[in-house]
Amino acid sequence: MDNRRPPARDVSEDHTTGGRTLLDVLSGMEERGYHAQFRSRPGGRVACDACGEEMDAADLTVDHIDRLEGVSDPADMMLVAAVACANCGVKGTLVLTYGPMASIVDSDVEARLPT
């Protein structure tokens, strides 16, 4: 497993959430128009639930990234990306685990996200 922190992203609002929950982050992104959901797939690919297409994570447009660390366990690390589909253009969220608990699938997707 990959237990390194994700590299810094060249996005305007990349930050650690400072105690906010996953629900808080997702609600905030939805308020800003990110309504669809994206899922990590093997091989560094991402599926768009709106159009059903799979694409290389490198083809997504990443507008914003939040990182969360568990309040009771800092090893519970999640990355929430506000992204746009390369196929249909819909905006939505992609939630990945990172650090020591990250799956290989999530690690591969995170490594391919545009910086």
Strand 61-69 and strand 91-98: the pairing is: unpaired
For every residue of 8-30, which 3-state class applies, written as one string? Answer: CCCCCCCEECCCCCHHHHHHHHH
Residues 35-79 have pLDDT tens digits of 999 999 999 999 999 999 999 999 999 999 998 886 555 556 899
Question: What local confidence, expressed as pLDDT, does residue 58 receive?
Answer: 97
Question: What local confidence, expressed as pLDDT, does residue 10 receive?
Answer: 35
Higher pLDDT, 62 or 5: 62
Euclidean distance between the first and the last CA atom of the chain, given in angstroms as a whole number? 21
3-state secondary structure of 34: coil
pTM of the model: 0.79
